[in-house]
């Protein structure tokens, strides 16, 4: 709606406005031209850059397959973290702890993309812990993830500021599951 009419629009303000209305501004209205009624059909990604993120975990599988935890940060929905299964099979709960390496404000929630087409290892119940460092985390909320391939969000009730977040998975989509997996994690 702005660049479509020839105005410049800064990425920061796009993101700021976008996260303020995350449920409303999921399409790329910035490039919509109301005169020609074209453009702006792309889905907007408001997620925070993950370049410097560090990920910690209770277990990961690196012998039987490439199930390393950093696979949740590679932008590929077909690579995933998998809890260990080759040499040992630790049960739930499993966790991923992510250090964004800098405090980040105005965060509205967490995006989850589950391992594709694998309800047997997709986690279900998740506790979301937030804090300034890994030793000072507070449980902020918990939710049931949906057993689906598409990205889903756990939204915060109010915007949050934190550097570290921990996702504690306490059960799987399969009630008897031992293993957990995850394709991508990001925040918005
Ligand atoms: Ca991935």
The CA 182 to ligand 1 mean position distance, Å, reads 8
Q: What is the mean pLDDT of the chain?
A: 89
The CA 4 to ligand 1 mean position distance, Å, reads 33
- Prediction pTM value: 0.81
| pLDDT tens profile 139-165 | 999 999 999 999 999 999 999 999 999
* 3 alpha-carbon distance from chain centroid: 29
pLDDT of residue 46: 79
The CA 81 to ligand 1 mean position distance, Å, reads 7
Domain boundaries, the chain: 1-46, 54-187
State which H helix or E strand residue 17 sits in. helix 11-20
The CA 148 to ligand 1 mean position distance, Å, reads 15
- pLDDT, averaged per 10 consecutive residues of the chain (188 residues), comes to 52 53 61 82 81 97 98 97 98 98 97 97 98 98 98 97 98 97 98
The CA 71 to ligand 1 mean position distance, Å, reads 4
Cβ-in-10-Å burial (0-12, 13-18, 19+) of 105 comes to exposed
Question: By the 8 A CB rule, do 58 and 81 touch?
Answer: no
The CA 156 to ligand 1 mean position distance, Å, reads 23
The CA 162 to ligand 1 mean position distance, Å, reads 23
pLDDT of residue 23: 47
Domain 54-187 listed as CATH 3.30.420.40: no
């Amino acid at each position: 709606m702005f660049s479509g009419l020839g105005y410049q629009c800064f990425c920061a303000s796009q993101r700021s406005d976008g996260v303020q209305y995350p449920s409303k501004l999921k399409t790329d209205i910035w490039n919509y031209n109301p005169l020609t009624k074209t453009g702006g059909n792309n889905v907007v990604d408001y997620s925070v850059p993950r370049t410097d993120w560090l990920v910690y975990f209770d277990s990961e599988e690196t012998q039987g397959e490439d199930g390393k935890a950093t696979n949740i940060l590679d932008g590929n929905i077909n690579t995933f973290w998998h809890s260990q299964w080759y040499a040992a099979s630790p049960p739930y709960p499993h966790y991923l702890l992510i250090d964004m390496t800098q405090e980040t404000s105005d965060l509205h929630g967490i995006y989850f993309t589950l391992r594709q087409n694998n309800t047997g290892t997709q986690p279900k119940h998740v506790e979301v812990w937030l804090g300034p460092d890994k030793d000072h985390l507070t449980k902020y909320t918990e939710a049931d993830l949906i057993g689906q391939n598409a990205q889903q969000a756990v939204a915060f009730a109010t915007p949050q500021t934190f550097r570290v977040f921990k996702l504690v998975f306490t059960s799987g989509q399969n009630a008897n599951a031992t293993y957990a997996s995850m394709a991508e994690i990001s925040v918005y």
